[in-house]
Amino acid sequence: MKGVILAGGTGTRLLPLTRLLNKHLLPVGKQPMIYYAIASLRQAGITDILIVISKQSAGLYTDFLGSGKEYGVNLTYKIQEGAGGIAEALQLAREVIPEAGRFVVLLGDNLFMDDLTPYLKRFEAQKPGSARVLLKQVKDPRRYGVPVFDEAHPQLIRCIEEKPEQPKSNFCVTGIYMYDDEVFERIAAIAPSARGELEITDVNNLYAQAGKLEYDVLEKWWTDAGTFESLREAAERLREDKP
């Protein structure tokens, strides 16, 4: 199985720091943020990894990470030219995913402590053409994409509502997704959102509508490290868990 890390975001909520450095290269604890995504994939036995990066920071990534040999992985890179959304960035993986190939996608600013191995094993047991997402229970789900569960089939998500005012659950969809190569057909079937981006929620909802979106719930700590507050929290958690 291959891994894809999406790290092309500009990090506007972390200005002015991100004027100088891509947010995924900002230090979190003793390492840059991107390191933890690589380490999570390596822990699960995934060493063939594509990182999607922005044009402006391409040189920084290649200088710092290189081929990945130092980290025990094989890294390749694709450049996302504009801010076209997560699903647009994911399209860039099409050339490296073989026919019927399965892969896991991590958003580079999602930090978590769970071992991905058991979740990947359950995904490998799913039928071809299906998908799996990882959820986390949160205090304020209105900030996230919120799953609506299928009461008749408890292992399935019926739909995902993006930042709802009245959430139907207290879970959020994290930036950890599992697909096979059919995801590229689903990306081709969606239209840009009102903000002009190809949204990953729209892709996942196509799976949900077809009864093909399963899930697991992360058991340990998780954060979307896109704000100063979440960066501080992440650094504190990492000190506690990995002194």
pLDDT digits (tens, 9 = 90+) for 101-122: 999 999 999 999 999 999 999 9
What's the pLDDT score for residue 168? 94
What's the pLDDT score for residue 237? 76
Beta strands in the chain (DSSP E): 2-7, 27-28, 31-32, 48-54, 74-80, 102-107, 110-112, 131-137, 145-149, 157-162, 171-180, 213-217, 222-224
Q: Is the pLDDT of residue 227 over 80?
A: no
Q: Is the pLDDT of residue 21 over 80?
A: no
Task: Identify the residue with better confidence: 240 or 202.
Answer: 202
Q: What is the mean pLDDT of the chain?
A: 91
Most confident of the following: 22-31, 98-107, 118-127: 118-127
How far apart CA 71 and CA 112 sit, in angstroms, is 19
> How many residues comprise the chain?
243
Is residue 243 very low, low, confident or very high in pLDDT (cuts 50, 70, 90)?
very low
Task: Identify the residue with better confidence: 139 or 226.
Answer: 139
Q: Which CATH architecture has domain 2-241?
A: Alpha-Beta Complex (3.90)
Question: Taking the complete model, does pTM exceed 0.85, yes or no?
Answer: yes
How far apart CA 57 and CA 16 sit, in angstroms, is 16
Is residue 20 very low, low, confident or very high in pLDDT (cuts 50, 70, 90)?
low
- Report the range of poorest mean pLDDT among 31-35, 90-94, 131-135, 213-217: 31-35
SS3 4: strand
What's the pLDDT score for residue 100? 81
pLDDT digits (tens, 9 = 90+) for 159-190: 999 999 999 999 999 999 999 999 999 999 99
Domain boundaries, the chain: 2-241
Q: Is the pLDDT of residue 15 over 60?
A: no
Task: Identify the residue with better confidence: 100 or 140.
Answer: 140
Distance spanning both ends of the chain, measured CA to CA: 31
Is residue 242 very low, low, confident or very high in pLDDT (cuts 50, 70, 90)?
low
